[in-house]
Structure formats: structure tokens, C-alpha cells
A and B are shown apart, each in its own frame.
Chain A
Amino acid sequence: MAIIEVKNLVKKYGSFTALNGVNLEVNQGEIYGFIGPNGAGKTTTIRVLLGILKATAGQATIFGMDAWKDAVEIHKRVAYVPGEVNLWPNLTGGEVIDLFVKLRGANNNKRRREELIERFDLDPSKKCRTYSKGNRQKVALIAAFASDADLYILDEPTSGLDPLMERVFQEYVMEAKEEGKSIFLSSHILSEVERLCDKVSIIRNGKIIESGSLEELRHLTRTSVVLDTKELISDLDKLKGVHNLEKKGNSLYFYVDSEQLDEVMKYISKFGIVKLEVAPPTLEELFMRHYKGDGGEL
């Protein structure tokens, strides 16, 4: 069942086009990664989903309801953590957590709240003005996970957290997934997306340029290979599907197009393999390729 459905979403500010036909589909129980460079339109997409910005054209629905018109109804079942958490300087963290949970219309589950506060190691009696970026983020995260939502929309939620807290965050995300909840996660921390997400969309210049499961995305790309052989390999770079060949010491470093892997393996095995390391491309490599070039080389 589709929880979030976005079709041909366009958002213009005057002559500037922030979103140029975005399509997304997040299904129930999925953790959906949303990545892209700064200014690509991630936050704009999220704000349209939250009914804070009005789409110029296209459709955005959550739980089958219109994101703009039925915002209040939708938000009863959504928990949101913004990338830049701005809180009221003269309220305490504890007060803000209670406020957020209450305004979502949920009941305050005291035990859950205390557990989260302890796990995230937050002092809720401090005024928000004294909190660092990471601590403000914790307040928003605690409020989000303390509420019993069906969909979590998280916009770079861990950008200010330390690695320990990041792990706590990931545990709660996995827990939510196990309970059948859906998570829409925009992030720059690619290792995190890689670890958590079932599906990923890459957005650039207001357009989704790649979408699918990590497996599918990897399939489209190259595998990295490190190779030592007994005999000197000649003409490897003439082979179809071999790229970026480099020699460092005794080892050869190169990339192979996934569909040519079989051919290449057959060829190199003739030279007596001493050492062979084959690694799927990391999301980072994927990401870099998409962002730096025009994406057409895929």
C-alpha cells in the first residue's frame, strides 16, 4: 500500500523552478532514502508533503489524502523532524516534547518519553536557548518517536548527532519499521542510508534522476576490483566494460560494468590470480557519479 504518492510535482517561485516533476512512491513498512546535493529540492519536497508549501502543479498524497487540503488530518498520523530545528528559546526541552506530542493529538506515553530521554541522553529541564544543534535535534527526535505515528518524515535528522546517538537513532528507526511503520528519510550521511533504507531516490535540480532499491541501483553501476596476478596482464584496458585502470605496486585497480563482470572474470583467470577483491559500489560512489557528471554515463 502506498503511503506517500507524489506525481509530477512542480513547485515554482516566480521564474525559478525548485521542483520540476518529482515522482515518488513510499509503501507501507518501507524505509525510503531521499538523497541529493544541497539545493536539489529535498526540503522543498518535504515541505510540500507537509502542506506548508502549495504545489504549483502535480499531486502529493499521504495516506491517500491531499497533502495541502487535508494537512491537519494527515498530520495526526505523521511525525516530522526538520533539518534545522528551531525551538522557542524560553521553553525547556521537556516542555517542547510534551507540546509536540500533544499537538499531534497523541496521548503522552510517560514511560516511552522517559526511556527516549534517557537513551538520547537529553537534559529536558534546560531552556532551548542553551541547547546545541545536536540537542535541539534530540528534542525533535524524542518528540517524533514518543508519538505513535504511522509515517515518519525525517529531514537530515542526524546531521548534528554524535556517532553514539546516531546509532540510537538507527535503532529506533528499525524498531518503527518492524512495527510496520513507514519512514521517509532525507539524509546526507550515505552510510546511514545504505544501512537503513530499502529504497532510495536521488534528486538533482528538482528532478528525481534515479530511484529503486539499493540492489537495483548497484546493478546499474560498476563493481570495483583489486587484482594481483602471477603473470602480467596485457590489454586489460582494451576489454569491454573495464574502466579507470590504475597500477599501484603489484596491484591493479579498476572498475567493471556489472553486465561485463562475467567476461572480465573469465579473461583474468587465465593469468593466475594471487589476490582478488571485488566490492559492490558504495552508495557514495553512486552518488558522486550522479552528482559530478551529467549522469549520462550510466
Chain B
Amino acid sequence: MYKDLYINTGKLVRFIMRRDRIRISIWIISIIVFTVLIASILPDLYATGADRQIMAETMKNPAITVMLGPGYGLDNYTDGAMMAHFMLLFSAIATGIMGILFATRHTREDEEEGRIEMIRSLPVGPLSPLTASFLYIVLANIVISLAVGFALYPLGLQDMDLNGCLLYGTSLGAIGIFFAALTGLFAQLTSNTRATIGYSFGFLILSYIVRGIGDVENEALSLISPLGLILRTQVFVNNYWWPVLLTLGISIVIFAASLYLNSIRDLEAGFIPTRPGKRNASGFLLSPLGLSLRLQRTTIISWMVGMFILGLSYGSILGDLEGFLDTSGIIQQMIPEAEGLSLTERFMTMLMTILSILGTIPPLMFVLKLTSEEKKNRTEVLLSKAVSRNQVLGSYTLIAILAVPIIQFMSILGLGCAAVVVMDDAISFNTFLKAGFVHIPAMWIMVGLAVLLIGYLPQHSNLTWVYLGYAFFVVYLGDMLQLPDWLNNLSPYGHIPEVPIEEINIAKILLLVLIAIVLIIAGFIGYKKRDIQG
């Protein structure tokens, strides 16, 4: 009986690899290439010990700590310490996302689409599909761990020995495995793909926030976040292996729990029960706009709350930032104080850009929802009624466009509330509002791009996410990696004035809004002309 539970798992693993061979290769190669690329340009950027020491001083900035994790080895800031500090958290989040996406794909998504049922009708053990998906992701992460380790080592950077390089790689792999296991658990608890992805990403974001606050305020708090825990490896300085082992151990426990839940539940069922709903539709639902609002109701509300919390958590460090900037001589030398502006306000502009880019995620999700509706043949059903294509695309676009200022307001509100509590000399809410709302045109351009792709290349509409990821990367690490300005100018966020440091150029803002409008109109024209797929 025991062996039958897992029979043919190996064959399923190979089958999954066959299905995913291109998809997973792209992820693995991107992560390796990206890591090696950054590691090879870093030593040239900060060539002398003095350069690095200045950087080390900047790293004590609580704002940087929230973004990148706590500094260590700052007294003798070597290439290795810098590499780990810049890249470890960021790359671990990438493997975490990879773990979530691939785990969902092969657990709840396969189940929801009825593919697991097909597999289970073959001589395959009841726990084999779940085990195979997990093993597959573990294998992928082992590849990443070893490949990253062995690719970094030959670069021969200061303080980066083989042990350290492998630890760095394994730290990434461990986070990938952890989030895959966690997603596997959510796949048992919830009964649909959206909920599985939603809970998993929610946990990832929560881990990031808890770690950010913990790194600044309270070390113990960071340890309960898997992302905070993995940073305690202090790679290339102290090379502790215990956080990796602990993460892997917890992953196995979580996986065992999901196996248990898998074994006691029915196929296609979850543990969160479905309640009977309404027999009749409310008047609110009965229009294309009402329908799309209703479908995304929970997502919209969760993102509003989420962005408020994110704003709050970024804001919570403003007090520490104020104190740090007052005492740090080097920083004061580096950044000459502009007239009437505190240094905190200057850092705030960068925080604002990051919040704006993160705040673009929900509007993009709201508008790109239409492509998944189309794939599932639901757009077809709508269009077979007396509903025009403009109405369908219009309702999704409208939600996204309106979501931009609302979401932006929520994160500003969070930031402002926290600032009032933690700062001695609080930045006025008005300043936050201006600095935040000035980003709206760039966010609209991203929505416009998504609409354009929906109009002409719906199967490639996910490119919007790649572009947003690029924009995020350029802002997040651009300064530290001393990336040239033109790279920043390729992103719409690069053209937004840094209020309150820079003046608002009305003409430029209007031009950005105009670009967004043109993109949206072009998308509508394309959408009217093309075939609806499904």
C-alpha cells in the first residue's frame, strides 16, 4: 500500500520537465546570467577601498536596509559583502516568485483544468502528482544553486571563495524551494488557482514587509520571515549555513503537511468551503463594468489594503532615516542640502518611485484580467450578447485607470500616517501627495501599454510585466550600479520629476498623459478589428 501512494512519480517528473523545458530554462538561465552579470561589473564600479567604504556608510541608511536588508561586514566592505548586500534579497525574491508560479502551475492549476484527473486515472499513486511537482521544483532549484555557485567562483572576486559562492547559490535555491512548498500547501487549502497564487504572493509580500521592519527595528522579527532568515547567512563575510538548513527543514515540514492534506481531501476540493450564493443578481452586476468590478472585487480591495500597509511600513522607517541622516557626516557631504528641503524628503522621492512602480501592479492586473477571460472563452460569451467590444475593453480599462490614483492615494496615506507618528519634523501630507500623484502619468502609460498589447498581441500581453520589472530594477539598483541615465529614461518613471526636489514641468506631464491616451486609443482600435481567441 505504501509504495502505491507514490508510484510512477519519477515518470511524472520527467513528463513535467518535458512540458516545461523552455519555460523553466528561461527562468534558470536568466537568474544565472543576471547574477554573473552584476557580479562582474560590481568590482569596477567600486574599485578602491575608499569607494566601498563610502558605500558602506550609505548602507547604514535605514531606507536602504528596508530595501536591501541589513548591512554586515561594513567595517571592511569587500566585493563579496557588497554583492550579497545588493543582490541576495532581490534574487531570492526572484526564485521565490519562480517557485510560486511553477508550483501553482503543476498543482492547483493542473487540477482545476482537469489534467490531474486524467493523470490520476492512469496507474499513478494518489500522492504522485504533488510529489512530482515538488521534486521537479527542488531539482530546478538545485540546478540554480550549483550553477550560480560555480559560475560566481571563477570570477575570483575578493572574499568570494567556493564555500561562499555555493552558499550564495544555495540561499537562492532554498527560498525557491520554500515558496514552492508553501504554494503546494495553499494549493491544498484553497480550491482554485487564483486563490492559490493570491495567498502565495500575499505571503511573499508579507515576508518582505516583516523583514523590512524587522531589519530596522527588531532583529527577532526578521527571523520569522523566510526572506529575513536567509539574509542571516551573511554570505561572503561569515558564511553561516544554518539559515539555509533551517529553511530547507521547514520546507520539508510544509511539504509533508501538504501531502497529508492532499491525502485526506477529494480531487478538486479545497478546505475553505464554498457557501451557497444569491439566486438573483443585484442590479449592480448587470453591466459589463459591473461584471468586471464584481469579478475583481476581492482583488481590488486586497490591493488597496496591501498598498496602504506597504506605505505604512516604508513610512515607519522615516524616523530612523531622519536620525541617521542627521548624524552621518559622509552622507551630508555626498548630498548637499537643497534649500528648504530636508534630506529625508530627498530619500522620500525614491521611496515614492518604488511605491508607484509596485502600485502599478494592481492596475495592470485589473486590465490584463481581460486576456485570461478571453482565453477561457468568457469574452466570447459576453460579445454574443448586445455588448460591444468597446464596452468590454472599456470597462476593464476604466477600472485600471481609476485604480491608479486610488491605489496611489492608499500608499501615500500609509506613508503619511506613519510619518506623522515616527518623525520629529514630519513631512507634510501635501508634499507626499504631490510627490506621489506626479507619478500617475507614468502608471497610466503602463496601463496604456497593456491595452495596446491586448488590442494587437494579446498572447504577448505579459510583456507589460517584463517592462515593469525592468523599470523597477532600474530605479531600485540603478544608482548603486551606476547605470547610465538613458537606461532609466527607457522607463516612463524616468521622466517623472522628483518632487519636491525638482519642479513640475506641466508640459512634460501633459505629454506623458497624451502618450498614455494614444496607447489606449490605439489598443481600442486594434481590439475592434481582431478576432477574439479562445
A residues touching B (Cβ–Cβ < 8 Å)? 47, 50-54, 71-73, 75-76, 78, 80, 82, 84-92, 94-100, 102-105, 124-127, 129-130, 140, 153
Cα–Cα, bound, A86→B372 (Å):
12
Q: Which residues of A contact B385 (CB under 8 A)?
A: 75, 80, 100, 103-105
Q: Tell me the minimal C-beta distance from A257 to chain B in angstroms.
A: 43
Does B192 belong to the interface (CB within 8 Å)? yes
A106 closest partner in B (C-beta)? B386
Contact B279 A50 (CB under 8 A): no
State which residues 226-275 of B face A: CB under 8 Å: 274
Does B48 belong to the interface (CB within 8 Å)? no
Q: Which residues of B contact A103 (CB under 8 A)?
A: 286-288, 382, 385-387
Contact A125 B281 (CB under 8 A): no
A51, A82, A86, A104, most chain B CB atoms within 10 A: A86
Cα–Cα, bound, A63→B214 (Å):
68
Contact A98 B274 (CB under 8 A): no
DSSP majority for the B interface?
A: loop
Contact A75 B532 (CB under 8 A): no
Contact B383 A54 (CB under 8 A): no
Contact A50 B384 (CB under 8 A): yes
Cα–Cα, bound, A100→B384 (Å):
10
Contact A80 B280 (CB under 8 A): no
A55 closest partner in B (C-beta)? B531
Contact B285 A76 (CB under 8 A): no
Cα–Cα, bound, A59→B408 (Å):
49
Contact B529 A54 (CB under 8 A): yes
Q: Which of B10-18, B161-169, B303-311, B373-381 contacts A (4 or more CB under 8 A)?
A: B373-381
A-B contact count (CB 8 A): 109
A92, A96, A103, most chain B CB atoms within 10 A: A103
Cα–Cα, bound, A92→B281 (Å):
8
Contact A104 B386 (CB under 8 A): yes
Q: Which residues of B contact A126 (CB under 8 A)?
A: 276-277
**The 3 residue pairs across chains A and B that have the minimum distance between CB atoms:** A98-B281, A92-B277, A103-B385
Q: When A53-B532, A75-B385 are in contact, do A89 and B380 touch as well, CB less than 8 Å?
A: no
Contact B377 A84 (CB under 8 A): yes
Q: Tell me the minimal C-beta distance from B118 to chain A in angstroms.
A: 15
Q: Tell me the minimal C-beta distance from B245 to chain A in angstroms.
A: 40
Q: Tell me the minimal C-beta distance from A60 to chain B in angstroms.
A: 14
Q: Tell me the minimal C-beta distance from B119 to chain A in angstroms.
A: 20
Contact A90 B386 (CB under 8 A): no
Q: Which residues of B contact A153 (CB under 8 A)?
A: 384
Contact A125 B276 (CB under 8 A): yes
Contact B285 A82 (CB under 8 A): no
Contact B281 A129 (CB under 8 A): no
Q: Which residues of A contact B277 (CB under 8 A)?
A: 91-92, 94-95, 125-127
A87 closest partner in B (C-beta)? B378
Contact A98 B280 (CB under 8 A): yes
B residues touching A (Cβ–Cβ < 8 Å)? 191-192, 274, 276-281, 285-288, 291, 294-295, 376-378, 380-388, 529-532
Contact A82 B381 (CB under 8 A): yes
Q: Which residues of B contact A72 (CB under 8 A)?
A: 386-388
Cα–Cα, bound, A129→B270 (Å):
12
Q: Which residues of A contact B377 (CB under 8 A)?
A: 82, 84, 86
Q: Which residues of A contact B386 (CB under 8 A)?
A: 72-73, 75-76, 103-105
Contact B192 A52 (CB under 8 A): no
Contact A71 B278 (CB under 8 A): no
Q: Which residues of A contact B276 (CB under 8 A)?
A: 92, 125-126
Q: Which residues of A contact B530 (CB under 8 A)?
A: 54
Cα–Cα, bound, A8→B380 (Å):
24
Chain A to chain B contacts (Cβ below 8 Å), 11 pairs: A71-B388, A82-B380, A88-B291, A88-B295, A91-B277, A92-B279, A94-B278, A99-B286, A102-B286, A103-B387, A140-B381
Q: Tell me the minimal C-beta distance from B218 to chain A in angstroms.
A: 39
Q: Which residues of A contact B278 (CB under 8 A)?
A: 92, 94-95, 125
Cα–Cα, bound, A82→B532 (Å):
14
Cα–Cα, bound, A97→B291 (Å):
13
Q: Tell me the minimal C-beta distance from B205 to chain A in angstroms.
A: 22
Cα–Cα, bound, A202→B274 (Å):
44
Contact B286 A88 (CB under 8 A): no
Cα–Cα, bound, A208→B380 (Å):
25
Contact A78 B384 (CB under 8 A): yes
Q: Tell me the minimal C-beta distance from B370 to chain A in angstroms.
A: 13
A99, A125, A130, most chain B CB atoms within 10 A: A99
Q: Tell me the minimal C-beta distance from A77 to chain B in angstroms.
A: 9
Given A71-B383, A95-B285, 5 other A-B contacts at CB below 8 A?
A52-B532, A78-B384, A91-B281, A102-B281, A102-B287
Contact B380 A99 (CB under 8 A): no
Q: Which residues of B contact A96 (CB under 8 A)?
A: 281
Q: Tell me the minimal C-beta distance from A144 to chain B in angstroms.
A: 10
Q: Which residues of A contact B383 (CB under 8 A)?
A: 50-52, 71, 75
Other-chain residue from A86, A102, A105 in contact with B378 (beta carbon distance below 8 A)? A86
Q: Which residues of A contact B281 (CB under 8 A)?
A: 91, 94-99, 102
Contact A95 B531 (CB under 8 A): no
A95 closest partner in B (C-beta)? B281
Q: Which residues of A contact B532 (CB under 8 A)?
A: 47, 52-53
Other-chain residue from B294, B384, B387 in contact with A91 (beta carbon distance below 8 A)? B294
Q: Tell me the minimal C-beta distance from A39 to chain B in angstroms.
A: 16
Other-chain residue from A73, A85, A99, A130 in contact with B285 (beta carbon distance below 8 A)? A99
Q: Which residues of A contact B287 (CB under 8 A)?
A: 102-103
Q: Tell me the minimal C-beta distance from B455 to chain A in angstroms.
A: 14
Q: Which residues of B contact A84 (CB under 8 A)?
A: 377
A76 closest partner in B (C-beta)? B386
Q: When A86-B376, A92-B278, A94-B281 are in contact, do A99 and B291 touch as well, CB less than 8 Å?
A: yes
Q: Tell me the minimal C-beta distance from A29 to chain B in angstroms.
A: 22
B291 closest partner in A (C-beta)? A99
Q: Tell me the minimal C-beta distance from B299 to chain A in angstroms.
A: 11
Cα–Cα, bound, A103→B395 (Å):
14
Q: Tell me the minimal C-beta distance from B394 to chain A in angstroms.
A: 13
Q: Which residues of A contact B381 (CB under 8 A)?
A: 80, 82, 85-86, 100, 140
Cα–Cα, bound, A72→B192 (Å):
33
